[in-house]
Amino acid sequence: MKFGVVISEGPYTHQAADTAYHFVKSAIAKGHEVPRVFFYHDGVNVASRLSVPPQDERHIQNNWTALAKDHGVDLVVCIAAAQRRGMLDDNEARRQGKDASNIAEGFRISGLGQLIEMGIQTDRLVTFGD
C-alpha cells in the first residue's frame, strides 16, 4: 500500500518528526511504499542541514536524509512555509539575494501542490503534528 506522510511541527520541540520517522521506517520494513513525506508549518525546519544536536541525541535531519537515500523517499519542503521560516535552497537563496542556503541533502523545496498530489496518489495519508 502507498502511504503519504505530512509532518507539521519542527524537530526537537515536538515529537512529531520522531514519531513520523519510526512510522515510515516500520511501513517500509513491512513492505509498504512511502513515496513522499511533506513538511509543512514548522515541520520545514526538519530540513535544516545546520542543525547540530548534542552527540548523544538522535540527529533528526540526518535520520530523514538517510531514509531518503536508502529508500528513495521524496522529502518535500513546502516553499511558502519554508521561505517564511528562513529555509532556502541554493536557487531560492540566490533568487532572494541571501548569502546562504540551508536545505539538507535528500530534501527538496517545492509547492503545496505536492501535498495535494500526494493525497491523490497515495492510498493513505497520515499527519504528524501538534
Binding site for another protein (CB under 8 A): 1, 3, 6, 8, 15-16, 19, 22-23, 25-27, 29-30, 32, 40-41, 80-81, 111-113, 115-117, 119-120, 124-130
Q: Minimum distance from CB of 93 to another protein (Å)?
A: 22
Q: Minimum distance from CB of 81 to another protein (Å)?
A: 6
Q: Which residue has the cell 542541514?
A: 49
For another protein, give the closer residue by CB, 26 or 90.
26
For another protein, give the closer residue by CB, 44 or 68.
44
Paired strand residues for 117: none
Cα 46 from Cα 21, distance rounded (Å): 11
- Dump the DSSP string for 68-116: HHHH--EEEEEHHHHHHTT---HHHHHHTT-S---BPTTEEEE-THHHH
Q: Minimum distance from CB of 76 to another protein (Å)?
A: 13
